[in-house]
Structure 1
Amino acid sequence: MGTILACSAHKRSYVRLFELDDMTKSNQDLQQNPAPTPTGSGRRRRFLGAGVTAAPLVLTMISQPALGATCFTPSRSLSRNTSVSQNGYFGECTGAESPGNYKAQQTPGTSAYHWPATVKPTDPFHPTFKMGSDQGKTKFTKLVGGNWVSKSFGEVLDINVAGQVHFHLIAAYLNKLGGNGAVIPDVAITVEGILQIWSEYITKGFYAPTAGVEWGAEKIVTYLKTNGIVK
């Protein structure tokens, strides 16, 4: 019996020594091959993970306002100079509506009706816009009760043929007056400036933003669009 107990004690000692030897080797391995230090992103993940609770993480999307267009007067649009020395000579045109929408939406009170309060689709086009001599292009009249009278803004918008400029100039005029909530600063163009483009065009067949430069209908429309004066 004493022999059996001695053997059991000896066996337990041997197992204990074996376990201690394994632990020593493991410690040596850890010292020789330490665990890699977490990188910055790893530390951040650990930090975020530690802070997570039962409450969900909610991300709020902040809507950004629609961007407008940097806009210039017709003459300054030729160079589009935005250097510091030109501060105050250009602006930001925002909210411009398209002539197509003004044409399609002529019923006050509807959600898509964006005409300014000072102009109605039934208001006469002439004499606000001077009358030219080319019927259907610079002259828009109709016979009523034996008399020739101006067509309305809405009726003139219904006439849109390639090579004509009235379609976009009407939209520019309505936007300048605040249609669709548009903001067209005077530093870019005034109401008088829009009407002057029309007056020159119906007289000469072009508009001259500066001496020696002539804009036909296509270039006038390009100016209005690229400067955010019409959509």
Structure 2
Amino acid sequence: MATEQQHGESAPGTAELSSEGAARRRFTRAGVAASGVLLTLHSQPGMAVEVCTTPSGSLSGGLQSFRGPPPTCAGRSPGYWKTHSWPRGCDKNQPYTRLFSCNSLNAKTYGATSQSAILEPKTWDRNGIGRHLIACYLNVQAGLSSFQTVPMLQRIWLEYQTKGYYTPTAGVRWDGRKIVEYLQGTMY
């Protein structure tokens, strides 16, 4: 059979394909294989989305490669930090502005609130950005989130506070809801 195929004859029971047909068949086979990979990458239980990467890395669809040890991704929610001990060196009574500077527009809200008090939902913290940033900060300090850094969290806040959105990568703008969605994805 191999000898027949080498001489251009088709195998028994198969019709000879044109070069276009052969190309379509290769494309279909590749598509079937790729769709399994895509479905595996995309499938998540229910509404849960786990994001164990930086904001710009989260846009790559989980196809990021890691050098060195895998990231620690065990962040806790604002609700957790309201009722549990904080990492050493973190002071619940310090003002929010100790970590996340506030402009004059936010001085009477975020600026007048302690780090522990911001963990409670506030009407003026419409999307919960303040409470989620504090939770992420505590996760970094506790070693529960190795892919985030305090300066990264501060950049998110500063840009959101000044522009009304955060740009994780060129051409992409996250409003408050999208920022919180990302931050929640780093927690379980």
Distance 2:69 2:152 in 1: 15
TM-score by length of 1: 0.52
1:79 aligned residue: 60
Secondary structure of 1:94's match?
A: coil
Alignment of 1:36-185 (within 5 A): 69=50, 71-82=52-63, 86-88=65-67, 91-103=70-82, 105=83, 113-135=84-106, 139-141=110-112, 151-161=113-123, 162-178=126-142, 182-185=143-146
Question: Given that residues 123 and 152 in structure 1 are in contact (C-alpha distance below 8 angstroms), is that contact kept between their aligned partners in structure 2?
Answer: yes
Question: Given that residues 51 and 182 in structure 2 are in contact (C-alpha distance below 8 angstroms), is that contact kept between their aligned partners in structure 1?
Answer: no
Cα 1:164–1:224 shift into 2, 3 Å: closer
Deviation for aligned residue 1:201: 0.8
Distance 2:69 2:182 in 1: 14
Instruction: Supply the AA of the counterpart residue of 1:224.
Output: L
The one-character-per-residue Cα deviations of 1:116-143 (angstroms, maximum 9, x if unpaired) are: 11112112221321113334886332xx
Deviation for aligned residue 1:114: 2.9
Identity level (%): 35
Deviation for aligned residue 1:160: 2.9
Distance 2:175 2:90 in 1: 27
1:207 aligned residue: 166
Distance 2:55 2:108 in 1: 22
Question: Given that residues 94 and 184 in structure 1 are in contact (C-alpha distance below 8 angstroms), is that contact kept between their aligned partners in structure 2?
Answer: yes
Instruction: Supply the AA of the counterpart residue of 1:80.
Output: G
Cα 1:77–1:214 shift into 2, 3 Å: same
Distance 1:75 1:208 in 2: 9
TM-score by length of 2: 0.63
Instruction: Supply the AA of the counterpart residue of 2:111.
Output: F
Secondary structure of 1:93's match?
A: coil
Unaligned runs of 5+ in 1: 1-68, 106-112, 142-150
Which residue of 149, 155, 180 maps to 1:190?
149
Distance 2:171 2:92 in 1: 37
Secondary structure of 2:71's match?
A: strand
CA RMSD of aligned residues (A): 2.5
**Which has the greater radius of gyration?**
1
Distance 1:90 1:189 in 2: 15
Structure that is richer in strand per residue: 1
Unaligned runs of 5+ in 2: 1-49
Alignment of 1:4-15 (within 5 A): none
The one-character-per-residue Cα deviations of 1:83-120 (angstroms, maximum 9, x if unpaired) are: 6xx232994333321101223x2xxxxxxx23111112
Cα 1:117–1:138 shift into 2, 3 Å: same
The one-character-per-residue Cα deviations of 1:187-211 (angstroms, maximum 9, x if unpaired) are: x221110111011111111110011
